[in-house]
Structure 1
Amino acid sequence: MRIMLAPMEGVVEHHVRAILSKIGGLDGCVTEFIRVTDQKLPYKVFYKYAQELESDCKTPSGIPVKVQLLGSNPHFMALNAQELVRYGAKSIDLNFGCPAKTVNAHEGGAYKPPAYWHYIADIRAKLTINVVANGEIWSVADYFRCREESQCDDVMLGRGLIAQPDLAKQIRCALNQEPYTPLSWLEICQMLFDYYRSTTPLYYEKNCGNRVKQWLMYLSRNYPEAASFFEFIKRKSLHHEIEQAFQEQLDFLLNKKHSI
């Protein structure tokens, strides 16, 4: 009964994989897709998307990471897969469907809700290989419904885990019949601030808050405070402005916690 982190393009880069795997509940992660055209890619391209190649293909908390390739040329897909193995990849995932419009335009497959989990059961019954179910799993209840309808033991979480960063942990505790208290907004805010600080050096200042703002939009599904905080920082672009906003939010939350 494995729980995997899905490869969300433009969202789940190595910092996010490290954060979510540290929270717990995950058995594995998959990188964002690495686009393959008609050439052998250099190591720097693989490393850009799979920095875990430098750490035995594991996150800092020891969770295995599969490297994903996307392309429609079998020869160069195989050639680049061989290169990845040479560079230390333990497992390679092939992308056969993605909701990104740029991918659809290049014959990369597609997806749009809802997820028809019962169709997975039909496919699984005809295959001898393992099948991992996914799609529209936003809660512990969704997880159990997905498993029942798909008849799959293993499940992959995508947007649901971004919107609820401890969803895998919640599921794991439910499976083990262990008590668990979901992460509070204070804990989520601290996590986001750490993420912001670790990724700030990677972007020009005017773009330094974009990934955090994107994550806040996902989080607003489960945390009303995330929507409010997004509104507060959405027009802020300078590093010191966003840093100050986080400090003010955390100070407010900590003072509120200590006053109870």
Structure 2
Amino acid sequence: MRAMKLILAPMEGLADFWVRQTLTDHGDYDWCVSEFVRVSGELLPPRVFYRWCPELRRGARTRSGTPVHLQLLGSDPVCVADNAVRAVSLGAPAIDLNFGCPAKTVNRHRGGAVLLDEPALVYQVTRAVRDAVPATIPVSVKMRLGNEDDGLATENAQAVEAAGAAWLTVHGRTKRQGYRPPAYWDRIGLLRQAVSLPVIANGEIWRPEDAWRCRQESGCQDLMLGRGAVADPLLVDRLRGRQAGDWASVLPVLVTFIDDVDGSGTDAQVAGRIKQWLSYLRRRWPEAAMLLEQVKRLTVPGQIRAVLEQARQAA
């Protein structure tokens, strides 16, 4: 049996270039997926692709060499296909299509999870991209179980397969269910049985025991990790069966992130990003809650880094 593949999920506003770089520095991912590039009626200039996927400038790989697949979101088959061609011309090694975003601003403009109400359109967008890019470039799809409910889940999965997608990633909740636990891994399993293309399971994987249950209930061999990977940067090592370490092993990850992200925005913006990550870490590490309390009023990244360095020396 081949090794389990572990993929870092696209997460708008969370897993940006800096987070992808840090997590893949410290975790052995098979690939990661960019935040979505939104396509709406025009062929986007290269600068837009570079904004959401700066890794395109260095061979579409993170600093550690992890491949980065580029994700597109849109509902016009021709326009999405044209932008896929441009992304490939800029170096994207694979194109992922977003039919799962639950954001209201996206859904109002006929993007993301609302397209799951129209399996025929899901097919058309996927087929248009598959026909437009070279056969050597994989085209994949990420979807939820549905929009308001999961009544069309099988039709959508079969539409993706018929359109020629190389694999399908399924987040085990509908748009209406948002991110509220649980994720319905057994429903992913029903979709896996309805298609012959590889299916990757996603949703509510925070700890190794979640991963093993997800694999058992879904029957999927491969997993996509999202918020759980941010809450525990060592999760990938745990799933690989390696000695993952403790809180003292997490602090260097945060320090690396601060060093990388400092200067990418205003001090307040960068400080907010650091606190955002600490907030996620609280789910797995009680020590993160204490650190967040110490730095919550600081707005200069260097000051936050000094507090983390103190904690690192004391750990």
CA distance in 2, matches of 1:133, 1:116: 10
- What residue in structure 1 maps to residue 219 of structure 2? 151
- What residue in structure 1 maps to residue 156 of structure 2? none
Letter of the structure 2 residue corresponding to residue 162 of structure 1:
V
Deviation at 1:190, TM superposition (A): 2.6
- What residue in structure 2 maps to residue 25 of structure 1? 28
Matches within 5 A, 1:49-64: 49-64=52-67
Alignment deviations for residues 201-220 of structure 1 (CA, whole Å, 9 cap, x no partner): 11122322111111111000
Alignment deviations for residues 136-188 of structure 1 (CA, whole Å, 9 cap, x no partner): 00000100110111111111000000000010111011xxxx5x143x33332
Alignment deviations for residues 226-256 of structure 1 (CA, whole Å, 9 cap, x no partner): 111112222222x2xx4234323422441x3
- What residue in structure 2 maps to residue 215 of structure 1? 277
Q: What is the DSSP-based 3-state SS (H/G/I as helix, E as strand, rest coil) of the residue aligned with 1:72?
A: coil
CA distance in 2, matches of 1:252, 1:158: 26
Sort the Cα spacing of 1:249 and 1:29 in 2 relative to 1 into closer, same or farther, 3 A. Answer: closer
Letter of the structure 2 residue corresponding to residue 149 of structure 1:
E
Sort the Cα spacing of 1:81 and 1:169 in 2 relative to 1 into closer, same or farther, 3 A. Answer: same
Q: What is the DSSP-based 3-state SS (H/G/I as helix, E as strand, rest coil) of the residue aligned with 1:142?
A: helix
Q: What is the DSSP-based 3-state SS (H/G/I as helix, E as strand, rest coil) of the residue aligned with 2:37?
A: strand
Matches within 5 A, 1:81-230: 81-107=84-110, 108-109=112-113, 110=175, 111-113=178-180, 114-173=182-241, 178=242, 180-182=243-245, 184-230=246-292
TM-score normalised to structure 1 length: 0.89
Sort the Cα spacing of 1:120 and 1:252 in 2 relative to 1 into closer, same or farther, 3 A. Answer: closer
CA distance in 1, matches of 2:27, 2:266: 32
Q: What is the DSSP-based 3-state SS (H/G/I as helix, E as strand, rest coil) of the residue aligned with 2:33?
A: strand
How many corresponding residue pairs?
Answer: 247
Q: Which segment drifts farther, 28-37 or 102-111? A: 102-111
Sort the Cα spacing of 1:248 and 1:124 in 2 relative to 1 into closer, same or farther, 3 A. Answer: closer
CA distance in 2, matches of 1:121, 1:249: 42
Deviation at 1:72, TM superposition (A): 1.4
For the Cα contact (< 8 Å) 2:258–2:305, is it kept in 1? no
Letter of the structure 2 residue corresponding to residue 2 of structure 1:
K
Letter of the structure 2 residue corresponding to residue 95 of structure 1:
N
Q: Which runs of 5+ in 2 are unaligned?
A: 114-174
Q: What is the DSSP-based 3-state SS (H/G/I as helix, E as strand, rest coil) of the residue aligned with 1:235?
A: coil
Instruction: Pick from 302, 309, 314 the counterpart of residue 243 of structure 1.
Output: 302
Deviation at 1:24, TM superposition (A): 2.4
For the Cα contact (< 8 Å) 2:251–2:312, is it kept in 1? no
CA distance in 1, matches of 2:296, 2:63: 31
Detail structure 1 runs of 4+ shifted over 6 Å in the superposition: none
For the Cα contact (< 8 Å) 1:99–1:112, is it kept in 2? no
CA distance in 1, matches of 2:54, 2:190: 37
For the Cα contact (< 8 Å) 1:7–1:33, is it kept in 2? yes
- What residue in structure 1 maps to residue 296 of structure 2? 234
Note if 1:36 corresponds to 2:39. Answer: yes
Q: Percent identity?
A: 43
Alignment deviations for residues 113-134 of structure 1 (CA, whole Å, 9 cap, x no partner): 3210111111111112111101
Q: What is the DSSP-based 3-state SS (H/G/I as helix, E as strand, rest coil) of the residue aligned with 1:93?
A: strand
- What residue in structure 1 maps to residue 17 of structure 2? 14
Q: Which runs of 5+ in 1 are unaligned?
A: none
State the superposition RMSD in angstroms.
1.6
